[in-house]
Structure 1
Amino acid sequence: MKVIVYSWHSFSLLSKMLAENRQINILTIVVIGDFNPVIIQPFWLVSKKLIKEEEATNAQVQLIHNELVQFHIGDWLYVQVTRERFELQTAQEPYFDAVRDLVLSIFSYLKETPVRAFGINHTRHYTVDEKQYHDLGDKIVPLSNWNNLFKNPKVLNVEILQKGEPNRPNGEVRLRIQPSDRMKNTPFAFMTDINDHTIVTDARLLVILLKENWQSSFRLADNTEETVEKLINQ
């Protein structure tokens, strides 16, 4: 945790619920393993009937290389693959399930690919008013504990770790709360970032556990949002 002193202009949305103040909602599915990046490119996805040929033709390809592949499909999907990390991301909520299904399909084809872990990551960005913004930090980390060191302390970021739930002994969850990294010019914007991480032994188990953990991961994200709202409104 870092504590700093800063000042921003007011931006009041006091009367709205936190969910209504959510400006950006990003889903990222990350798989850790050993990959051959050049396999995962738009026309390979077409060859497996995972996307439309028109989508592949119009894909915005940043790089196709042995070490790194990066491209966008339309305005709904970002793909990045390195030797050790596979990532699909979308900020379009109607496509969340489609991104999951795409990951499931890819690793059904690449079932021999060594994989070690996967994460269902939820990043949500909010705007609140000045008092809510500062009160949230004070509720998470009581700032009165630091008054002997600082005249006007504020919380910059907080990270919380949960390991080894009874029903998921090989999983862990990391929650970060910090100023928004996508709305830097918006006063009193913050983000919650949840990394819902599960260790697996192979692609077959990845497919099984991604299906099994999907709904509970979204419940975790929604419950986090409700908890943050309660802290703000206490």
Structure 2
Amino acid sequence: MTSLDSSPGAIPEGAGAAAKQIPPAAVARLTIYLRALTTLLSEGVDRVSSESLAEASGVSSSTLRKDLSYVGSYGTRGVGYEVQYLNRHIAAALGLTHDWKVAIVGAGNLGKALARYGGFESRGFDIVAIFDADQMVVGSEVGWLRVSDAADLEPVLQRTGANMVVLALPAAVAQEVCDRVVAAGVRSILSFAPVMLQVPPGVNLRKVDMATELQILAYHAQRAQDPEDAD
């Protein structure tokens, strides 16, 4: 693939120093731009236009340019974005230049699948521990990790330096474990538990509800199949 340079220009050095608060929807799109840029880098592309990057990301050029303005990207027409620099710039804005050490609580099918997923490391996330309360599971190996006893949650979190936790747990125990994680000093939690969790101010909690996502997908699929309903 050849580089394209038909519109907005390179990001000025130091542009991200005073980045604005980024709206949640724009944050989500920035992760998509980062993935597209990583692909371009692997293909040896040095520069890319806003039109090409927007097309690869499934958004409009105007949306792309507005999103990049949140991280201090303004540029000059006719030059194109420098792919490597823009990739680093977005990664820095998303906090991906820090060391993120992730612990997974729950070594069921989902927890094991997450622990074995190879894409986390390439995106800056190091899976450092996995826990379970089932003594038949404790001590078994998941990839290169050995399952730790959930009773030892706090000391293992401290020893590994985990600063993010993924909860892959049943609803009945999720809040109790979440409270322990917070008490251990972790301030970033991703929950797959099918229940609303309560956390104190200063703790970032993201909930992934696959059933809800499927319901939303079903809604859009139904509208696509029935044009009269869409109107």
Higher strand share: 1
Same fold (TM over 0.5): no
Scaled by the length of structure 2, what TM-score is found? 0.24
Scaled by the length of structure 1, what TM-score is found? 0.24
Higher helix share: 2
**Higher relative contact order, structure no. (Cα contacts within 8 Å, ≥ 6 residues apart):** 1
Larger Rg: 2
